[in-house]
Structure 1
């Protein structure tokens, strides 16, 4: 049976109320996205320790799936009435019934990171059995190697990790960067994320790849410095976390930062320049990875 997908743009004040009303009216699913995703205005709706939490984006898109026999206009109007707002404009897309598991698998092919490093889903044979293959499937947490920011960090780790170096992956998501670091020769490696689901995903992925990594929520993470710190998160958290991340890198150690749009790179370089001497940035599709060495 086909579904009807609605995309409703609204403000932060009414997104959740509209979502709740749509569920009550029988929507098959409802999610809320950042209307500014992929732009310089994109922002997280979570906070780091000691930082205030933004509860919703300034402008949100409510994505709704309706059964084919539900009238989209009437449903949106009824939900708006229940939420106490005027009926908003919306876009409509018909989503045909599909085998979503097979479709997802077909869309996630092995990803070459470098000549020796691949990200390979578990349902595929490794394209190069002699290469370093990270077995990873789409799951609960961000990070499969398909996004430029993740690839840039993976490539940096592949080129720069020295045998036995200690590594901290801050904002570890799926654990992919920590796993890659271990696979290319790192020693003690830790991952930190504020999302409990990331802990679940990271630990499962590390076990699947037969590497030993300890993952922590921020308040549980051990103190101490590392040879390498990598953080693939968004620009605003990178700015807020600069003193803390810098403190986790030993003198002479290195940091790699990504999740940064090209136009934001200079600001990040300037902030972290208080602690690090930066190499030229690596870039892909408008995103950059900044890497530097901590000076004394």
Structure 2
């Protein structure tokens, strides 16, 4: 059913209390929230909330129980769908095949055979890989990383999600990588995936906190254009002189606005495009910006 985000806690608790095996939240419209503010819960204005129940429950009984727990449910339209029983992990794996990025880099499901010609490999757990390289923005970032010489570099992956970009940087030779995210599940996912790829010592995964005095050779951020614009000054402080930024999660119509926000501190802008998405790269200027 579709509910305002303010009612999520009530309905989430109600569904669990009447026996839901799981409760999931999804965007009811087109309002992606990829990088919420620190301490914020990433929710959309209108949320589709779904409860998964054993098929032993009668639909009428479930709806009556839900209305008793959350009286507002009486005014909402609920849709009930019977799901065919299957191995959901296996179904996901059937859609997730090995993918190549550039000449050397591959992303492969952990239970899948690694292609013989794969030089650099990231293996992902299907239970945790909510960033698997299939989205155009992730693809752009991975292809750009594969094209760089990262040996000995320090890298910041801002908004690391599954950790795929941080892990890719480590696999491709970065000396030290920091994956930063404010979503607890993302931190769990990133740490697990880093350990599974034997780069846990190279990849530090952390939540928000003081970063004063820290600087990186490369900063990656695959988030939203609005958030990237707000972070321009902060990234300029975190990027070493002559260091690089790689920014994605940007529609091609937003590219000029993002570039304008970074020009006081960066130059040498280049743009890669895939479908309607772009990746913007630039180099940290030696002189300080005045913005």
Q: TM-score, normalised by structure 1?
A: 0.84
Tell whether 2:165 aligns with 1:172.
no
SS in 1 for 2:111: coil
In structure 1, the partner of 2:172 is: 184
Q: Which of 240, 245, 248 is 2:235 aligned to?
A: 245
Measure how far apart 1:140 and its partner are. 3.6
Matched, 1:208 2:196: yes
Task: Tell me how far 1:153 sits from its aligned partner.
Answer: 0.5
Rounded Cα–Cα distance in structure 2 between residues aligned with 1:189 and 1:241: 19
Distance (Å, rounded) in 2 between the aligned partners of 1:170 and 1:69: 44
Cα pair distance change 1:139/1:276, threshold 3 Å:
farther
Cα distance in 1, alignment partners of residues 22 and 260 from structure 2: 43
- In structure 1, the residue matched to 2:47 is 60
**Cα distance in structure 2, aligned partners of 1:141 and 1:47:** 23
1:154 to partner: Cα distance: 0.6
Q: Deviations over 1:23-50 (max 9, x none)?
A: 32333322222223xx4x32258422xx
Look up the match of 1:268: 258
In 2: Cα distance, 1:56 partner to 1:251 partner: 37
CA RMSD of aligned residues (A): 2.6
Query: How far is 1:156 from its partner?
Result: 0.8
Q: Can you give the 5+ residue segments of structure 2 that lack an aligned partner in the other structure?
A: none
**Aligned equivalents of 1:43 and 1:200: distance in 2?**
19
C-alpha displacement at 1:231, in angstroms? 0.9
SS in 2 for 1:43: coil
Distance 1:234 1:140, change over 3 A: farther
My pick for the range that moved more, 87-96 or 113-122, is 87-96
Partner of 1:3: none
8 Å CA contact 1:22–1:76 kept in 2: the answer is no
CA distances 1:199-236 after superposition (whole Å, capped 9, x unpaired): 33323322322332222222165732111100112334
TM-score (norm 2): 0.85
**Is contact 2:102-2:147 (8 Å) kept?**
no
Question: Cα distance 1:195–1:90, how it changes in 2: closer, same or farther (>3 A)?
Answer: same
Are residues 18 and 203 of structure 1, via their aligned partners in 2, closer, same or farther at CA, if it must alter by over 3 Å?
A: closer
Partner of 1:230: 220
Output the CA distance in 1 between the equivalents of 2:249 and 2:35. Answer: 15
- Following TM superposition, by how much is the alpha carbon of 1:157 offset from its aligned partner in structure 2, in angstroms? 0.7
Aligned residues: 283
- Whether contact under 8 Å (1:173, 1:202) holds in the other structure is yes
Q: Residue in 1 aligned with 2:107? A: 119
